[in-house]
Chain A
Amino acid sequence: MKHGRVLVTGVSRPLGADVARALAASPSVETVIGVDTVPPSDDLGRTKFVRADIRNPLIAKVITTAEIDTVLHLNLIANPVAAGGRTAMKEINVIGTMQLLAACQKSDTVSRLVVRSTTTIYGSSPRDPALFTEDMEPRSLPRGGYGKDAVEVEGYVRGFSRRRPDIAVTVLRFANILGPGVDSPLARYFEFPVVPTVLGFDPRIQLLHSSDALAVLLRAAAGGHAGTFNVAGDGILLLSQAIRRAGRPPVPVPFPAVSSLSRLASRMRIVDFPPEQVGFLAHGRAVDTTRLREVFGYTPRYTTAAAFDSFVRERGLHPTIDPERVVAAERALLGLLARRRLVSAS
């Protein structure tokens, strides 16, 4: 299906900006309209920026006047601080989505809707299966924050696709995105000189490189398959392993203290790790991406481990524990052994 006039929400944040820029550079795209509440900080090519709050019906006017045929809804905010508090975040995430969907429903031109969601909707619990497939129900629903918003957003999107079955709806559930420009709680978490972990737990984490996220979104905008897809890099990392790869010393914190610590950290603006995400630090989460590869037809170029390594490299994280020193120490010890033996042999 030809996609000519595209509306992108959330263009003032890195992923949205990347998508808008890539679409603007594509010759098959006639118009790109970017929407956000704040102007984008970087150049978006020929993207027309409309400063609009998707929470009010103005968005419908934009869609009608520009005769938008493809809507990319990327305006799902994970970070309450960025949105100006949890209430504002929820407003933008949930009410904004409702308004946007209402506008799309009334539109005659829209034929494709791509919604960015997250694997957070699967929650994190010890009773989780090893890998979630798209049609599994979460064992414990996310109780608040980002995950809960995403669950509600997906609920409205499902309702929308029931009412407008002629519009192809693609829901992309992204794993935690790491990449050069990404400023997510997880990225900041790994930038600490020492990394707090939950004592006695070592979760499996799954990551997605931002370039893969971009590629998947562009493919969906260009007419990928409708449906719901988990999007994540192949394989997993254990949190301990990731911390070791970043050369950081972990600091285990007992489970009960973790939420208060994270609350304190958010209040002090050190890191914004929502307390409801603590479950993730204990139990982790991993998803099955078979459907992405086989139905959607995209294989992420970065595995989880590669995405993490490139994140460490691109951010220029200076390892507290330098792997080269570890190798040198190993060599020195081996040499010592050899010397000792040689002396005793002669």
Chain B
Amino acid sequence: MTTAEPPPGEARIIPLARPARRAAAAARSGAARPVTSPGPADGPGRDETAPTKHPTGASSAQEAPAPARQDPAPSAGSTTAKGATTRRAATKSGSRPGTGRQTSARQTSARQASLRQASAEPAAAEPVAAKPLVAKPSAAKSGAAKARTDKPGSDTPGTGEPSAAEPGTGKPATGKPVTDKSATGQAAGVRAGRSGTGQGRSSARARATPQPEQPEDRAERLLGRAAGQLRGDEVTPDEDDVTGGPAGEAPAAPMAQPAGLERALAGMLAFLRRRITGDYEVDELGFDADLTEHVVAPLLRPVYRNYFRVETRGLENVPDTGGALVVANHSGTLPIDALMTAVALLDHHPSHRYLRMLAADLVFSLPFIAPIARKTGNTMACQPDAERLLGKGELVGVWPEGFKGVGKPFSERYKLQRFGRGGFVSAALRTGVRIIPCTIVGAEEIYPMLGNAKAVARLLGLPYFPLTPTFPWFGALGMIPLPSKWLIEFGEPVETASLTPAAAEDPMLVFELTDRIRETIQHTLYGLLMQRRSVFF
């Protein structure tokens, strides 16, 4: 294997993927035991790493895992080459029933070596990593495999193994296409027979992990979703190609979990490394997509899904690409409605759009809140920023009621306040994007604001200080919102393309459009409230 170590950026997932495959092979060959029991026929196959030529017959399989501590640690230089070969030894020694006493010590030592390598192994280039996967099951399982695996019999494990035994180089590779099928066929049969058991799970784990060519970020998307659940599109279509097994051979659902966990951990480590070394992109407004997708969204997702049980409608009204302005009603004392709208668009819109929200300037003067607001893609509500984002083709969210809306008393719930000064309409007119009215039901009830401690608010420099049934009486506990049932509906877009940017200079037109959008949202609000059975269900 002449694999120079690739830059870490390209092969991050490899150290994970390879051991996974190894385990799969182990599991699969282990699984093969009761059904096919290749027994003595496999003896020579084992020889490639176990120098003892005796095709030792039936002996207790339990001996195999006994570790041989004196085994010398492999030198780092030969790791990739050895890793590949000893891996094969590992698969066999872990699973083969016909392991003799004499060989077992050596085999296990080989396994130990491979284990150690697994940890020390530098990431190897992709093709290398890919091949053993295909070759391995066949070697482990089929009689045909014997023919090609018996040749490097004299190799000693633990010392630098020649690369002749490498899967993917020279001869062994030639037998592959034939042996593959039988191997996987067997494995499939076995798996079908014993799906749901521990071994079966690990075979599935391997099936889920074996795309070395898969870009790292995909794994990380998985990680991002792990907190919630996998999106439909995360199921990788090429899984079956890699194992060569028939589709649907084994129920994937109960098996997928370890892979997800494993990958999530790897993704998390990669994420941590990026954070520690500062190796991530931030756009000029300070939007940190890496952080948003991997930390903020996973935190908000359970709130969206399980706490408020948000039901989102009309996502087809939000364009897949290009700029658009989402205009929504504001309520709830704290702007949680804005966060939920952003989650709705990120998770449930077909093109997973980020909502870049325009926030009040107060947000950007609060410590801790200000940086996180910027990093999640929000910016201050002002014409230049709005036009900049819309001009860049971003999806911009605006809550024109502002503090008047979010901080209105509970008695005025679902009554829209004045829609600002119509600045959002002129921004949309200047950039020629459509305006999407958005109606949010349920946010009004999360913190019923019964009173407003104006003196405290003035003291703290806040626009209002809410008094709810729980806050501030129960302190921080009082800040837990009530679990109302939410509905978010994106309405029919209002086209502005027919109007010229000069229309933004026509106050009458701007006011008229503003009012029209406000009326639309108000009517949708009434409609949704009629449909709602109860506040909480």
**Chain A interface residues toward B at CB < 8 A:** 126-131, 133, 136, 198-202, 204, 235-238, 240-245, 247, 255, 283, 286, 321, 323, 326-327, 330-339, 341-343, 345-346
The answer, yes or no, to whether B284 is at the interface (CB within 8 Å) is yes
Contact B282 A237 (CB under 8 A): yes
Contact A321 B276 (CB under 8 A): yes
Q: Which of B258, B266, B374 interacts with A334 by CB under 8 Å?
A: B266
CB of B27, distance to nearest CB on chain A (Å)? 6
Residues in B neighbouring A335, C-beta threshold 8 A: 15, 118-121
Q: Encode B52-79 as 1/0 by CB contact (under 8 A) with A.
A: 0000000000001100000000000000
CB of B246, distance to nearest CB on chain A (Å)? 23
Contact A130 B285 (CB under 8 A): yes
Contact B277 A136 (CB under 8 A): no
Contact B367 A236 (CB under 8 A): no
Contact B23 A345 (CB under 8 A): yes
Contact B277 A236 (CB under 8 A): no
A8 to B529, CA, bound (A): 72
Contact A337 B265 (CB under 8 A): yes
Contact A200 B282 (CB under 8 A): no
Residues in A neighbouring B380, C-beta threshold 8 A: 126-130
Residues in A neighbouring B284, C-beta threshold 8 A: 130-131, 204, 235-236, 286
Residues in A neighbouring B485, C-beta threshold 8 A: none
Q: Which of B19, B123, B361, B370 interacts with A342 by CB under 8 Å?
A: B19
Give 4 nearest A-B pairs by CB, closest first: A200-B367, A335-B119, A244-B278, A338-B19
Residues in A neighbouring B118, C-beta threshold 8 A: 335, 338-339, 342
CB of A318, distance to nearest CB on chain B (Å)? 15
**Chain B interface residues toward A at CB < 8 A:** 8, 15-16, 18-20, 22-23, 26-27, 30, 64-65, 90, 93-95, 111, 115-116, 118-123, 202, 258, 262, 265-266, 269-270, 272-273, 275-280, 282-286, 288, 361, 364-368, 370-371, 374-375, 379-380, 382, 384-385, 388
List 21 interface pairs A-B (beta carbons < 8 Å), by A numbering.
Answer: A126-B365, A129-B385, A130-B284, A130-B384, A131-B285, A201-B367, A202-B374, A238-B375, A244-B278, A245-B279, A323-B276, A330-B272, A333-B269, A335-B15, A335-B119, A338-B18, A338-B118, A339-B115, A341-B23, A342-B22, A345-B94
Chain A, residue nearest B123 (CB): A331
Residues in B neighbouring A129, C-beta threshold 8 A: 379-380, 382, 384-385
Contact A338 B16 (CB under 8 A): yes
Residues in A neighbouring B385, C-beta threshold 8 A: 129-131
CB of A325, distance to nearest CB on chain B (Å)? 10
Chain B, residue nearest A337 (CB): B265
Contact B277 A126 (CB under 8 A): no
Q: Which of A240, A243, A283, A343 interacts with B115 by CB under 8 Å?
A: A343
Residues in A neighbouring B266, C-beta threshold 8 A: 334, 337
A321 to B262, CA, bound (A): 27
Residue of A129, A131, A204, A338 contacting most chain B CB atoms (<10 Å): A338
Contact A326 B282 (CB under 8 A): no
Contact A200:B371 (CB < 8 A) given known A286-B284, A346-B95? yes
Residues in A neighbouring B282, C-beta threshold 8 A: 204, 235-238, 241
Residues in B neighbouring A341, C-beta threshold 8 A: 19-20, 23, 202, 258, 262
Residues in B neighbouring A331, C-beta threshold 8 A: 15, 122-123
CB of A333, distance to nearest CB on chain B (Å)? 6
Residues in A neighbouring B8, C-beta threshold 8 A: 327
A23 to B15, CA, bound (A): 54
Give the A-B pair count, Cβ closer than 8 A. Answer: 155
CB of A176, distance to nearest CB on chain B (Å)? 16
Residues in B neighbouring A198, C-beta threshold 8 A: 367
A236 to B282, CA, bound (A): 7
CB of B15, distance to nearest CB on chain A (Å)? 5
Chain B, residue nearest A203 (CB): B371
Contact A338 B26 (CB under 8 A): no
Contact B277 A342 (CB under 8 A): no
Residues in B neighbouring A338, C-beta threshold 8 A: 15-16, 18-20, 118-119
CB of B517, distance to nearest CB on chain A (Å)? 24
CB of A36, distance to nearest CB on chain B (Å)? 36
CB of A324, distance to nearest CB on chain B (Å)? 9
Contact A330 B270 (CB under 8 A): yes
CB of A175, distance to nearest CB on chain B (Å)? 12
CB of B383, distance to nearest CB on chain A (Å)? 9
CB of B263, distance to nearest CB on chain A (Å)? 10
CB of B521, distance to nearest CB on chain A (Å)? 27
Contact A345 B202 (CB under 8 A): yes
CB of A122, distance to nearest CB on chain B (Å)? 13
A318 to B353, CA, bound (A): 40
Q: Which of A126, A136, A202 interacts with B375 by CB under 8 Å?
A: A202
A283 to B380, CA, bound (A): 12
Contact A342:B265 (CB < 8 A) given known A327-B273, A330-B273? no
Chain A, residue nearest B111 (CB): A346
Residue of B26, B277, B380 contacting most chain A CB atoms (<10 Å): B277
Residues in B neighbouring A321, C-beta threshold 8 A: 276
A131 to B283, CA, bound (A): 11
A136 to B202, CA, bound (A): 61
Residues in A neighbouring B116, C-beta threshold 8 A: 339
Instruction: Taking A242-B278, A245-B279, A342-B23 as given, write out 14 further A-B residue pairs in contact, using a Cβ cutoff of 8 Å, ordered by the A residue number.
Output: A131-B284, A136-B384, A200-B368, A238-B288, A335-B121, A337-B262, A337-B265, A338-B16, A341-B19, A341-B20, A342-B19, A345-B27, A345-B202, A346-B30
A345 to B535, CA, bound (A): 49
A342 to B93, CA, bound (A): 12
CB of B378, distance to nearest CB on chain A (Å)? 10
Contact A336 B119 (CB under 8 A): yes
Contact A201:B370 (CB < 8 A) given known A335-B15, A341-B19, A346-B94? yes
A105 to B238, CA, bound (A): 74
A241 to B274, CA, bound (A): 10
Contact A130 B379 (CB under 8 A): yes
CB of A320, distance to nearest CB on chain B (Å)? 12
Residues in A neighbouring B26, C-beta threshold 8 A: 342, 345-346
Residues in B neighbouring A201, C-beta threshold 8 A: 367, 370-371
A255 to B371, CA, bound (A): 14
CB of A288, distance to nearest CB on chain B (Å)? 8
A14 to B265, CA, bound (A): 48
Contact B94 A334 (CB under 8 A): no
Chain B, residue nearest A128 (CB): B380
A345 to B259, CA, bound (A): 13
Q: Which of A202, A247, A333, A346 interacts with B371 by CB under 8 Å?
A: A202
A199 to B365, CA, bound (A): 12
A333 to B111, CA, bound (A): 19
A198 to B370, CA, bound (A): 12
A129 to B361, CA, bound (A): 10
Chain B, residue nearest A334 (CB): B15
Residues in B neighbouring A238, C-beta threshold 8 A: 282, 286, 288, 371, 375
Contact A323 B277 (CB under 8 A): yes
Residues in B neighbouring A339, C-beta threshold 8 A: 19, 115-116, 118-119
Chain B, residue nearest A237 (CB): B282
Residues in A neighbouring B122, C-beta threshold 8 A: 331
Q: Which of B16, B30, B120, B370 interacts with A337 by CB under 8 Å?
A: B16
Residues in A neighbouring B64, C-beta threshold 8 A: 346
